[in-house]
A and B are shown apart, each in its own frame.
Chain A
């Protein structure tokens, strides 16, 4: 009888710890809501609308992307800024103009939040990057699958009738440049 109770108790204790330190993310259209006791959020605004959540233990996701990750996870969401607002390059958006863009003006703030925070963007995000170590079950248009081990995914899902310029470096993610120019008929 004792043999049966002990594993049940340890499972219950493990489950309680996981629930206590689990985090939730709701991916809205332009807003994301974060409830996570063990996470940090980096936000940026300038050459892209940007927020990145780094969480540990259990992270649950809903909204645009559903997911359950047990382990360490880093979720980056980037929304484009208007090309015309940069004003440093000519009217034709090309990747050669990236050098003339002042990335230093891109303001990023990092905060550790104890419970709840909201990340707001000017436009709908189109660029998504995530990496995780552990077990992930994901379902959504960004990524779908079951992953065990180390995983890195990057998705770029552009809108119609638009030109995008993107520069991304996984080692320096806060300096991600994503600009757009809508071309009307």
Chain B
């Protein structure tokens, strides 16, 4: 009985220790059942039942200020996530993601381009229009 307990404790320790990694990322997750996983803030996530999330992690480097040639994790992104509801049985109704993701100096360069500014303005206009449509319905 002691050995499974020790293995479980060791596994949980390893799980918690891996939450310290410093990387930039975007993710979505869904679980129906049981889940134990580390959170980015090193606490433990316990789920029993149903849970879903959309997450973007943008770490800030310690002791590093951004300059003309040095970047501190700049990100420029448009992320469109369409996810089916819990009671959806339509096979066409699946998880869909369309995104533009620019990192570092690429994000800074692109944010200064007139074409990209226009793209973002049009994108925001599309979102506003679709929201207005939803409100009217």
Q: Is A155 an interface residue (CB 8 A)?
A: yes
Of residues 8 through 32 on chain B, the ones whose CB sits less than 8 Å from some CB of chain A are 11, 14-15, 18-19, 21, 23-32
Residue pair B96, A183 in contact (C-beta under 8 Å): no
Residue pair A151, B38 in contact (C-beta under 8 Å): no
Closest to A152 in B: B30
- The smallest C-beta distance from A30 to any residue of chain B, in angstroms, reads 19
- The smallest C-beta distance from B70 to any residue of chain A, in angstroms, reads 10
Partner of A145, one of B15, B27, B101, B104: B15
Interface size (B, Cβ < 8 Å)?
A: 51
Residue-by-residue, is B37-65 near A (CB-CB < 8 Å gives 1, otherwise 0)? 11000000100000000000000000000
Q: Is A3 an interface residue (CB 8 A)?
A: no
Q: Is B94 an interface residue (CB 8 A)?
A: yes
Q: How far is the CA of A150 from the CA of B119 in the complex (A)?
A: 38
Q: How far is the CA of A96 from the CA of B118 in the complex (A)?
A: 12
Q: Is A146 an interface residue (CB 8 A)?
A: yes
Q: How far is the CA of A166 from the CA of B109 in the complex (A)?
A: 20
**A residues in contact with B45, CB < 8 Å:** 145
Q: Is A37 an interface residue (CB 8 A)?
A: no
State the B residues within 8 Å of A (CB). 11, 14-15, 18-19, 21, 23-38, 45, 69, 71, 78, 80, 91-92, 94-107, 109-110, 113, 115-116, 119, 122-123
State the A residues within 8 Å of B (CB). 92-96, 98, 137, 139-141, 143-171, 181-185
Q: Beyond the given A144-B38, A157-B25, could you list 10 further A-B residue pairs with CB under 8 A, ordered by the A residue number?
A: A152-B95, A153-B27, A155-B25, A156-B25, A161-B104, A162-B104, A163-B110, A171-B92, A183-B110, A184-B105
Top 9 A-B residue pairs of the complex, sorted by shortest distance between their CB atoms: A149-B33, A145-B37, A183-B106, A171-B94, A170-B95, A161-B104, A160-B104, A148-B34, A170-B94
